């Protein structure tokens, strides 16, 4: 089979269509204003996002990756430091640590949640450890209480990678608001997505907020009076305007994803060899991805057969970060992450996905050869 799948892994068209008039009005408003960089929509979106998340400060940046880099630097992380994080994540998590001159230290995952295992963090702490960087993978909260307890014990910063979990919760608190800073991505495929790259840093720490604002504009509090080496990392005015249209709908969209996940759970009960996603009792999972485990070494075969039926699936992620060439010299073995990388398969999900589409996806799994 060639070309696009009949059922994509993500369909953004219904969301865009439903908001078309508002989106076009927002975009045209920016074009007519002539203010394209750091204009009123960026300021307004930062205020609205901060209010939604329940934090004092929200700083718009160019991408989720930049959010991580700038948050780490704003928290004082730099050369010679170690940051404990998960190997089962997108490369940008560890890459950001390396970009600020620090060293990522990988510890294994909880096999149920795919997130960093808090029980393994303390043994990895050394005299050089300065921060923990948990990831709320697939929209599921990492277990933050033990992480925060350890951070207090060892005087560590906690930077949350919340790129996949905007609107997700941990014990009733919005993800990205529990540590010293939370980092968000507005890549188009995210639950709250822009029409290009975009990111956000959320924090209650005034010093981190001030440093982050300075770093995103070449290290200057006042234009042309640069104090440190920074970045050109600003959230575009058009993207901010688009995100302002979408933000009021995020809870509704996330709840629709949760309902779609429940339908998948029910439909998959009759399918052998598939483990459905686990929702931790402390979490409100927002299912950026609906990711199953395909057992008995059959994942790649299953994916190929489903893809050939015109159903889009994705593997997030086929190689854990500690096994990628950039970090392969660390020689660590993390069996939980390595096993997950060989078993995970993300099925189609979006807020408006129809029951009939989900049934077709599951039918393709039921008809697989033994």
Neighbours of 71 (CB within 10 A): 33
**122-154 as b/e: b if 16+ CB within 10 A:** eeebeeebbbbbbbbbbbbbbbbeebbebbeee
CA distance 337 to 329: 17
In the 3-class helix/strand/coil scheme, how is 137-166 assigned residue by residue?
Answer: HHHCCCCHHHHHHHHHHHCCEEEEECCCCC
How far is residue 159's CA from residue 81's CA, in Å, rounded to a whole number? 14
How far from 315 is each of 158, 206, 362, CA to CA, in Å? 28, 39, 17
Beta bridge partners of 131: 83, 157
CATH code at 13-248: 3.40.640.10
299 and 345 Cβ atoms separated by less than 8 Å: yes
Torsion of CA 114, 119, 124, 129, to 10 degrees: 90
What's 342's DSSP letter? T
Burial class (CB in 10 A: 0-12, 13-18, 19+), 329: exposed
C-alpha to C-alpha distances, 237 to 42, 167, 366, nearest whole angstrom: 6, 22, 47
Domain ranges in the chain with CATH number 3.40.640.10: 13-248
Q: Taken in order 91, 89, 65, 99, is the CA torsion positive or negative?
A: negative
Give the Cα separation of 39 and 1 in Å (integer): 46
Per-residue confidence (pLDDT) for residue 3, from 0 to 100? 60
CB atoms within 10 A of CB 185: 29
Dihedrals phi, psi of 343, to nearest 5 degrees: -120, -25
Contact status, residue 52 vs residue 290, Cβ threshold 8 Å: no
| 38 phi, psi to nearest 5 deg | 55, 45
Q: Domain spanning 250-366: which CATH class is it, in words?
A: alpha beta
Predicted pLDDT of residue 17 = 97
Q: Which of 105, 112, 114 has the alpha carbon at shortest distance from 137?
A: 114
pLDDT in tens, the chain (370 residues): 446 679 999 999 999 999 999 999 999 999 999 999 999 999 999 999 999 999 999 999 999 999 999 999 999 999 999 999 999 999 999 999 999 999 999 999 999 999 999 999 999 999 999 999 999 999 999 999 999 999 999 999 999 999 999 999 999 999 999 999 999 999 999 999 999 999 999 999 999 999 999 999 999 999 999 999 999 999 999 999 999 999 999 999 999 999 999 999 999 998 999 999 999 999 999 999 999 999 999 999 999 999 999 999 999 999 999 999 999 888 889 999 999 999 999 999 999 999 999 999 999 888 776 6
Q: Tell me what pLDDT residue 370 has.
A: 63
Question: Structure pTM?
Answer: 0.96
C-alpha closest to that of 259 among 186, 132, 340, 354: 354
CA dist., res. 370 & res. 283, Å (int): 35
**Where, residue-wise, is CATH 3.90.1150.10 in the chain?**
250-366
Helix (H, G, I), strand (E, B) or coil at 103: strand
pLDDT confidence of residue 270? 84
Cis preceding-peptide flag for 82 (omega within 30 of 0): no
Q: How many residues does the chain have?
A: 370
Q: Where are the alpha helices (DSSP H) in the chain?
A: 13-18, 20-33, 40-53, 64-74, 92-99, 144-154, 206-216, 237-246, 250-267, 299-308, 335-341, 355-366
């Amino acid at each position: 089979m060639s070309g696009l799948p009949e059922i994509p892994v993500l369909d953004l068209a219904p969301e865009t269509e439903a908001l078309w008039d508002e989106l076009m009005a927002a975009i045209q408003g920016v074009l007519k204003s002539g203010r394209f960089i750091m204009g009123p929509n960026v300021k307004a979106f930062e205020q609205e996002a901060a209010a939604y998340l329940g934090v004092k400060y929200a700083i718009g940046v160019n991408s989720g990756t930049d959010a991580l880099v700038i948050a780490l630097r704003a928290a004082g992380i730099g050369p010679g430091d170690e940051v404990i994080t998960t190997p089962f994540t997108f490369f940008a998590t560890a890459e950001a640590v390396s970009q600020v001159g620090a060293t990522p230290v990988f510890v294994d995952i909880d096999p149920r949640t795919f997130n960093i295992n808090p029980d393994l963090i303390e043994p990895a702490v050394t005299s050089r450890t300065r921060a923990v960087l948990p990831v709320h993978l697939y929209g599921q909260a990492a277990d933050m209480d033990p992480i925060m307890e350890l951070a207090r014990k060892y005087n560590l910063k906690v930077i949350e990678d919340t790129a996949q979990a905007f609107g997700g919760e941990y014990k009733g608190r919005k993800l990205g608001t529990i540590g010293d800073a939370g980092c968000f991505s507005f890549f188009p495929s995210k639950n709250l997505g822009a029409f290009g790259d975009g990111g956000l840093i959320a924090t209650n720490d005034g010093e981190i907020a001030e440093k982050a604002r300075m770093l995103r504009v070449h290290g200057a509090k006042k234009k042309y009076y640069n104090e440190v080496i920074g970045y050109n990392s600003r959230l575009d005015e058009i993207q901010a305007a688009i995100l302002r249209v979408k933000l009021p709908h995020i809870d509704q969209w996330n709840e629709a994803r949760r309902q779609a996940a429940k339908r998948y759970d029910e439909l998959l009960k009759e399918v052998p060899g598939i483990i459905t996603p686990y929702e931790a009792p402390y979490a409100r999972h927002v299912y950026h991805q609906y990711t199953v485990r395909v057992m008995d070494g059959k994942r790649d075969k299953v994916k190929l057969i489903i893809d050939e039926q015109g159903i889009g699936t994705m593997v997030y992620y086929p190689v854990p970060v500690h096994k990628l060439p950039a970090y392969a010299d660390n020689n660590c073995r993390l069996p939980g992450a390595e096993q997950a990388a060989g078993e995970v398969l993300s099925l189609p999900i979006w807020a408006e996905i129809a029951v009939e589409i989900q049934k077709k996806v599951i039918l393709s799994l039921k008809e697989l050869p033994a």
